[in-house]
Amino acid sequence: MKAAVVVFPGSNCDRDAARALELATGQKPHMAWHGDASMPDVDLIVLPGGFSYGDYLRTGAMAAHSPVMREVVARAQKGVRVIGICNGFQILCESGLVPGVLLRNESLKFVCRSVRLKVENNTTDFTKGYEQGQTVAIPVAHGEGNYFAEAETIKKLEGEGRVVFRYIDNPNGSMNDIAGIMNEKGNVLGMMPHPERVAEPLHGCTDGIKVFESLLKAVG
């Protein structure tokens, strides 16, 4: 599987994502700079966590208009798989690749800890390595992870099985305990928890590596 990790000014999880991809696929991903107008042909694009452009205006708002995102959006529309993690999820929302917005945490405090998630849909390219309804432990680290969307959008996400991960112990106040969603085509996933931070035994947990292993199996 050929993959690319997009690096924005302020990204701080790009190398973590690259490490997880290398563990899962045996290949080093292409590191795409935010100012690049193009990238090599890849099967997967990762938008990593961090504080792109210092989170000015709104989280992910400036990154959504960077040159590389025009290419990411075009690739996603053609069916290339894209995963946005934490700040990457915020960028996906701002780019219109997934619906909704990420608001300030209900507590108005930055939350950094391991949380329990339920795998709501294990039929996606991102979750085939998990069992349906499986509980996993994956850390979060965000100040704006409170997922919000209009009632009709929430109803659609739930009805179409597009809620992929759900918080068991909601750390931010997200509607319906939503931790991760995908687009209508099923090739774009946005999630606030960081699977790349629990990808190998040295992390004390390997619950996150199956996200990347699932993608490898899906691509073939």
| Catalytic machinery residues | 86, 194, 196
Residues 6+ apart with CB under 8 A from 121: 127, 132, 161, 162, 163, 164
Give how far the C-alpha of residue 98 lies from the chain's centroid of Cα atoms, to the nearest Å.
11
CA distance 172 to 45: 26
For residues 86 and 46, give the distance between their C-alpha atoms in angstroms, rounded to a whole number.
11
Contact predicate 119/103, CB 8 Å: no
Q: Which two tokens stand for residue 25?
A: 């696929």
